[in-house]
Amino acid sequence: MEPQNEKLIEEQVYRNSQNSYEEISEKKTSKLGYILLIIMVIFVIGVGETIFSDLKKIPERPTSPSRCISSSIANLENLDYSNCPSYNGYNEVDKKFGLDTKFNNIKPELQKIFSLNENINSNEREIRNLENSIQRLNKDYDLSLQEKMADENTIMDKSGIKYQITNSRSQINSLNSHNTSLKNQRNSVISQITSSVKSLEQSYNEANEHYLTTSAWYKFKIFLLTLVFVLPFFILSIYFYLRLKRKDSPYTIILTALATAFSILFLQVIGVFLYDILPKEWLSRIFKFFLDVPFLRYIIYYGSVFLVIGLFGGIVYYIQKKVFDPAKVAVRRLKDKKCPRCSFILDSDHNFCPNCGLQLKEKCGNCGNPKIRYLAHCPNCGKE
């Protein structure tokens, strides 16, 4: 190693050694202490979640327009009116936008359409059953023909099977004719209420838009309430953590646990808020567009690889830089009675490393006694 670089390292070691001699394996507390701190973190987070649930009850939750109304007018040809044939449970939003009045005006027609749909569906089920029956009868009829051609005793009643096939086809024609009549009746009723349904649908869309707006405001109020609750604890825990950390206090680990708990709660509040306000459908379309274009797709792939490498690699680099800082490496080696440069085993009376020649001690400027070059204070007088 060049003398100039060695001197720079020694100066850095000396400056950094004034801050901390902490070993990377040094324990902050006992096993019981760690268990208690983990329990404390879990308890704080649990209490925070309970408070979040209570805070959500403070703002008045917005009311959506009745789903029964929207399901009734969504598709009249497949109207499922079974859950609300006598629906009268209108809420304040329904009444505010006149949904109750408009829905009541077409309720008799809706009930009639639902009844017609039930009859049509019943006939269609019967038609499918008859068609399946005809398929089985055709197989039996073919078998009876094979028996006759082979001059075997006939087991199958060919004339009876033929009659059943003919009768089933007749029933199918009758049911189809009946369904045509029912569908014409249904279409006639639908045409009578088309304008009323459009008016109801428009009012429902306005009511739903009102609900979405009030829901957004409701979520924002919840965000403010939860933020007002957790932000002071988050700031105070970080402040006192940094304050004790600078003092190298043994109680720093307590604030570390508290800061961790409140950081999790704080990030939860921010994360939920961002999830609620981000246009997820828009982002999904943008992402799909990028994936559909080969050039842009590979930009995302390579970009994500570099991002992950930069993020996780950067964290590991920071940890390694802290752990293998020259000052901390030198102190750890000296504590193990090793040379800070080459790790050769030393004796306490060595002034130089017998392996690499590194100077280990120098004269104290205060008392004149030898002191270790890599430590800030003299072991004899305690002065720097």
Q: Identify the pLDDT of residue 25.
A: 47
Residue 215: is its pLDDT beyond 70?
Answer: yes
Distance CA 104, CA 96 (A): 15
Q: Report whether 211 contacts 65 (CB < 8 A).
A: yes
Residue 17: is its pLDDT beyond 50?
Answer: no
* Reported confidence tier of residue 46, pLDDT bands at 50, 70, 90: very high
Using alpha carbons only, how large is the chain's radius of gyration in Å?
41
Distance CA 4, CA 324 (A): 21
Is residue 208 one of the residues assigned to a domain? yes
Is residue 154 one of the residues assigned to a domain? yes
Residue 349's Cβ-side half-sphere holds a number of Cα atoms within 13 Å equal to 0
Task: Flag the least confident range among 9-23, 37-51, 84-98.
Answer: 9-23
Is residue 97 one of the residues assigned to a domain? yes
Distance CA 207, CA 69 (A): 11
Q: Report whether 356 contacts 344 (CB < 8 A).
A: yes
Structural domain boundaries, residue 100 = 67-221
Residue 44: is its pLDDT beyond 90?
Answer: yes
CA angle 232, 238, 241 (to 5 degrees): 135
* Reported confidence tier of residue 162, pLDDT bands at 50, 70, 90: confident
pTM of the model: 0.59
Q: Identify the pLDDT of residue 317.
A: 74
Distance CA 352, CA 362 (A): 10
Q: Report whether 53 contacts 229 (CB < 8 A).
A: no
Mean pLDDT of 140-162: 59
Q: Report whether 198 contacts 118 (CB < 8 A).
A: no
% of the chain with per-residue pLDDT over 70: 82
Residue 171: is its pLDDT beyond 80?
Answer: yes
Task: Flag the least confident range among 77-91, 97-111, 165-179, 241-255.
Answer: 77-91
Query: Measured between alpha carbons, how far is residue 46 from residues 39, 234, 260 in Å?
Result: 10, 16, 13
Q: Which helix (H) or strand (E) holds 313?
A: helix 294-323
Is residue 273 one of the residues assigned to a domain? no
Identify how many contiguous H helices and E strands the chain contains and give both numbers. 10, 2
Is residue 344 one of the residues assigned to a domain? no
Q: What is the pLDDT of residues 246-293, one digit of tens each?
A: 877 778 888 889 999 999 999 999 988 888 776 666 667 777 777 777
Is residue 259 one of the residues assigned to a domain? no
Distance CA 273, CA 214 (A): 15
Q: Identify the pLDDT of residue 315.
A: 74
* Reported confidence tier of residue 319, pLDDT bands at 50, 70, 90: low
- Give me the number of domains the chain comprises: 1
Q: Identify the pLDDT of residue 87.
A: 52
Q: Which helix (H) or strand (E) holds 203?
A: helix 158-246
Residue 152: is its pLDDT beyond 70?
Answer: no
Q: Identify the pLDDT of residue 119.
A: 92
Strand, helix or coil for residue 19: coil
**What residues contact residue 31 under an 8 Å CB cut-off, 6+ apart?**
none
Q: Identify the pLDDT of residue 320.
A: 67
Residue type, 193: I
Q: What is the pLDDT of residues 359-373, one digit of tens each?
A: 888 888 888 888 888
Distance CA 215, CA 268 (A): 20
Task: Flag the least confident range among 5-9, 129-133, 281-285, 323-327.
Answer: 5-9
Is residue 313 one of the residues assigned to a domain? no
Specify the DSSP class assigned to residue 59. S
Residue 11: is its pLDDT beyond 70?
Answer: no
Is residue 41 one of the residues assigned to a domain? no
Residue 145: is its pLDDT beyond 70?
Answer: no
